[in-house]
């Protein structure tokens, strides 16, 4: 056992016992490191991974015959999505349709990166811009609900826009840029997302109808999978994907620019990651990212511990922008930050429906329509387990009482 202060900490990565649902073996290695080992076997790299990738690309080409595009790739201007454009077009010669959801908080660098990549690779763009006033009302609802998933409306809309672009042009494949080796998988209990959750929160805490925000309602989603037969694939799972090397390639080849941190290409993501989550909920997403990089050998554990101890930087101008656009005075914002914490299990969601439909989603997972992580988190794990195994500082008591100052506790 290794301890960080009074907390038990994994001897391999930097997770400690505040991480939801974590457990430790007799050797001091945590359950998330063991999960990573299983994923390494399920998603090989090197020659076996390349063979899987090439076989999938061959199937994508076959499914794209007679259609204007082979694959839809969501773009944010970030490293992972930009590299997937390069991979699909330059290395495999696929006909790519880029898809983008504009939540009106894109950073300048993100916009420039998207333009550079699309122009250099001659890739068409499908984009959806949400009504600004509507989105601010939805954000306001989530702040008033005191839940951590401020970016869930955007994340759901992103997924929906990918399907919308694919369905419009008859495309059968969507590529996702996630890599468990570089960004990890967020522990169950930290966050939750589905369209019913978004509607529930907005109906209870907000005003106005949801009209322009793309949604992923269950019936519509099942139609995209079962009728339109649109599959998802994560090519980075099968590559020796090194983030630092990829940044250099993108910069030298396309003039692509780094924006300072994981998911920081969008200003709401920057605000959530660097301010809202750590200060109100005690959640620091760098733990997931750094632990993943340590497990995959891209970052030393000692260096990860030094970097996690560094205080997160934050541009206070973004906080001022959020308050102004969402419509909170300084005193109202103080109330938001000190309000008792709420958890998704206290609100209506699709979660129990997903659990009842577990056999259906197992089949969809095996056929490539949903990801393994979705099946395990949303269909296999029960709601009760999410509450019982929640992180200590995000405990049941804190949900009912005054909020803690998690930054100090961490």
Q: What is the 3-state secondary structure (H, E, C) of the chain?
A: CEEECCEEECCCCCCECCCCCCCECCCCCEHHHHHHHHHHHHCCCHHHHHHHHHHHHHHHHHHCCCCCCCEEEECCCCHHHHHHHHHHHHHCCCCEEEEEEECCCECHHHHHHHHHHHHHHCCEEEEEECCHHHHHHHHHHHHHHCCCCCCHHHHHHHHHHHHHHHHHHCCCEEECCCCCCCCCCCCCCCCCCCHHHHHHHHHHHCCCCCCCCCCCCHHHHHHHHHHCCCEEECHHHHCCCCHHHHHHHHHHHHCCCCCCCCCCCEHHHHHHHHHHHHHHHCCCCHHHHHHHHHHCCCCCHHHHHHHHHCCCCCCHHHHHHHHHHHCCCHHHHHHHHHCCCCCHHHCCCCHHHHHHCHHHHHHHHHHCCCCHHHHHHHHHCCHHHHHHCCCHHHCHHHHHCCCCCHHHHC
> What is d(CA 364, CA 167) in angstroms, rounded to the nearest whole number?
18
Running along the chain, 410 residues long, what does each successive block of 10 average in pLDDT? Answer: 70 93 94 94 95 97 97 94 96 97 89 96 95 95 96 95 97 95 86 95 94 95 97 95 92 89 77 93 92 96 95 89 95 96 93 96 95 90 62 41 32
Q: Please give the structure tokens belonging to residue 317.
A: 């101008």
Q: Please give the structure tokens belonging to residue 79.
A: 């490293």
Q: Cα–chain-centroid distance for residue 158? A: 10
Q: If you search the block for the tokens 């029960």, which residue do you land on?
A: 382
Tell me the sheet residues that pair with 13: none
> What is d(CA 252, CA 120) in angstroms, rounded to the nearest whole number?
13
b/e code 107-124 from CB counts within 10 Å (16+ = b): bebbeebbebbbebbebe
* Angle at 36 (CA atoms; ends 352, 13), nearest 5 degrees: 110
| 171-223 confidence digits (pLDDT tens) | 999 999 999 999 887 888 888 999 999 999 999 999 989 999 999 999 999 99
Tell me the sheet residues that pair with 232: 174
Residues in contact with 43: Cβ distance below 8 Å, sequence separation at least 6, in sequence order: 49, 180, 237, 238
Report how far apart, in Å, the C-alpha atoms of 336 and of each of 55, 218, 331 are: 50, 31, 9
Mean pLDDT of the chain: 90
Q: Please give the structure tokens belonging to residue 366.
A: 């095996």
pLDDT of residue 385: 62
Q: Quick check: 137 and 327 in contact, CB under 8 A?
A: no
pLDDT of residue 397: 37
> What is d(CA 166, CA 168) in angstroms, rounded to the nearest whole number?
6
Sign of CA dihedral 293, 298, 302, 305: negative
**pTM of the model as a whole:** 0.89
pLDDT of residue 382: 81
| 112-146 confidence digits (pLDDT tens) | 999 999 999 999 999 998 999 999 999 999 999 99
Residues in contact with 232: Cβ distance below 8 Å, sequence separation at least 6, in sequence order: 173, 174, 175, 176, 368, 369, 370, 371
β-pair type (96-102, 124-129) = parallel
């Amino acid at each position: 056992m290794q301890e960080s202060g009074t907390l038990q900490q994994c001897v391999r990565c930097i997770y400690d016992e505040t991480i939801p649902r974590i457990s430790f073996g007799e050797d001091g290695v945590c359950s998330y490191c063991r999960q990573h080992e299983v994923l390494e076997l399920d998603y090989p790299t090197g020659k076996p991974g390349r063979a899987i990738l090439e076989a999938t690309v061959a199937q994508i080409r076959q499914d794209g015959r007679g259609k204007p595009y082979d694959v839809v790739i969501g773009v944010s201007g970030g490293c992972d999505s930009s590299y997937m454009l390069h991979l699909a077009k330059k290395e495999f010669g696929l006909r790519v349709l880029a898809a983008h959801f504009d939540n009106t908080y894109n950073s300048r660098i993100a916009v420039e990166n998207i333009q550079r990549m699309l122009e250099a690779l001659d890739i068409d763009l499908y984009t959806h811009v949400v009504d600004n006033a509507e989105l601010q009302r939805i954000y306001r609802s989530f702040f008033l609900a005191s839940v951590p998933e401020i970016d869930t409306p955007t994340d759901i809309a992103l997924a929906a826009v990918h399907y919308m672009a694919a369905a419009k042009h008859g495309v059968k494949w969507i590529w996702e840029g996630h890599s468990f080796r570089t960004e990890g998988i967020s522990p169950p209990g930290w966050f939750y997302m589905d369209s019913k959750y978004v509607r529930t929160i907005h109906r209870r805490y907000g005003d106005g109808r949801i009209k322009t925000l793309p949604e992923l309602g269950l019936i519509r989603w099942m139609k995209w999978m079962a009728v339109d037969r649109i599959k998802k694939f994560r090519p980075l799972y099968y590559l020796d994907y090194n983030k630092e090397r990829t940044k250099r390639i993108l910069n030298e080849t396309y003039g692509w620019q780094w924006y300072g941190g994981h998911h920081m290409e969008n200003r709401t993501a920057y605000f959530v990651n660097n301010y809202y989550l750590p200060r109100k909920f005690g959640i620091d997403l760098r733990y997931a990212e750094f632990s993943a990089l340590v497990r995959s050998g891209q970052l030393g554990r000692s260096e990860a511990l030094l970097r996690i101890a560094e205080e997160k930087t934050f541009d206070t101008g973004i906080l001022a922008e959020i308050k102004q656009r969402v419509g909170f005075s300084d005193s109202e914002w103080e109330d938001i930050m000190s309000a008792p914490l709420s958890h998704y299990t206290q609100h209506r969601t699709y979660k129990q429906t997903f659990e009842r439909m577990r056999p259906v989603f197992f089949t969809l997972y095996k056929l490539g329509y949903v990801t393994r992580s979705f099946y395990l988190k949303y269909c296999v794990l029960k709601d009760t387990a999410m509450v019982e195994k929640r992180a200590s500082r995000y405990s049941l008591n804190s949900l009912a009482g005054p909020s803690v100052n998690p930054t100090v506790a961490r």
